[in-house]
Structure 1
Amino acid sequence: MKASSKGLLTQISQFWNMLDDLAENDPARYRNFIEQELKDGKEFYVDPEPWLCLQTKILKPKEKILFINLCQWKRIPAPQSATHPVPISVGRPEDFSEASGAYTVIDVAYNPGVLQAAEKDQEVKGQLIKMAIHCIEERLQFTLAHSYHVTSFGIKGSIQRTKANLMGTKTDFTDFKEILRTENTLERIKSSTMSEPSHLPQVLLTKDQALAKGRCLIEEISSSEVQVEAEKPAYELKVAKDQKEKPLKIELKIELPGITSVSLCDLSVSEVDLLVEVPEKYRLYLNLPELVNTEMTTAKFVKNKSVLIITMPLA
């Protein structure tokens, strides 16, 4: 310890001597150096800023409501290029209990530039959300409901708590090696190859670079394409019961005016919730009143009425 302390003092002394020499021989460079250090220090201690808050559920190891705070934070470095991994910081889960019930909060942070790009492109935004969920599952060994909804509030808890949580975690850099595939009409993340135990999917932001690599996760959409906010469609939900008033199944009828093909609809059903999306047109997220059997769930599309009918037997 004494030897280590002596070596540290020697390095500090050498550092101050270097600054003294720089200040005397090159005042302009000395001033630039100090100004840059002050700027870097200010950014290092800056608070994260809320981007949006997601509500979903932890299914395993124990079922619980989950809030995911997605934040932008200058301490998270920007990707070196569009073909490099996107850095991410995932905080440790924190449990809370209120009068309304128990829940868990997990904080996730991206570089501000990454999220600013996502604001201009709903597809990129959706993929960043899915990748954050995927990273939480892989890193924390949770099973989450992949359907979610964006809360009306920007953050669950306080910025001070979020910052303290994220300060205790490291930033991960990992490539996403597989493209998204369609499974049960919902795009899911298939798998990833990890360069470290904790990992992050890679986001490709330009068509040319994506084609050069031979695969594409997210393509850049030209400014001429109009991004339309999805609206909540009209729906009717009923719980069918037997003669003894025992619940048997949930029947959901969703009206999708203008939709003429079931191929345009993405459907995801878990035991506790449901998500139906028609990209750039409709989005419906529901917490189900009863646990359902996902294996026995069926859906049919009435083309001439543009109605999707989903039948979910209870678990």
Structure 2
Amino acid sequence: MPFTGSTENVLQQVNQFWAMLDDLSENDPAAYRKLIEKQMKERAEFSSPPVLHSCVRTQMLEPKTGLLYINICSWKCVPAPQDLSSPLSVCAGNLETGTDENQGWFAVLDLALNPAVLQESNADKTDINKVYVLALSFAQQQHGMRLSQEYNVVNCSPKSSPGDLHHRLGFQTQPNTSTQTETASQTPGALLRQISSLRSVKQDEVSTSQIISKPTEHIKKDLIQVISTAFVEPQKPEYQMEVKTDTVGVPCSMELTVELPKVRSMSECQLRVSKEDVLLEVDEVYYLLLDWPNTVNEDTASAIFNKKKRRLRLKVDVL
């Protein structure tokens, strides 16, 4: 529920909304629960991460020769077009480059669209090809590239792990502080804060979107219209990874120490540990994605943050 107008009108609207929630929770608990569950479902949809749909590969001719990979992603937080004549909303990630022993220099670009757009395009091969052509046109105009007119669809691109995609697209994991059952018993005041938090998340996500025109039969010179906001690249913090071995020299555990001088509390950190890698994020401040030298047991991971030294220490056993 948006609150608009003067300060006095906004306060009046908030009080009316608060009174409505109070009345609903007391007189119609079922409707109150339904309202909360609807908010939680909506929040879960907007908090879900982007998912790789397909990958297009083409030859880059300028400003540097090499291969360009464009990951087409499905992401619920990207708005769907209202009708066929409406602009198509796309969230574009940062362009990442690298080198490979076999293929040489390459670049990776991620473009996320609303799932409904991709589902509709999947039904018609011509439509999905239009999406691919539009993606290539976007790369040329947005990044000043000259690309080959030929392309092919491949299984995946280099650096296409979920962590890589999330980082380049600016996706931040939202902490799950309560279950739906717990949420259903919240007070009206707590629900109001939940709705406000959800609206803030939506606004942050929409601000990263870029708008491009709907695919047409012919690609025109002025096809792509971009609205973008500046993205602050997080720093890669200093770290040290140590492999602990047993008496016979067999690796038994990993210890990762990360220096975080700009962090005051562990609550600012988002940490994900898997068997293959570890991801540490501090929103717009730090980003660290590392592969483990050995496969680990993520269930044994434990992390301690030293507030005085501003240092995070993570320990995990090797499988």
Larger radius of gyration: 1
What TM-score does the superposition give when structure 1 sets the normalisation length? 0.50
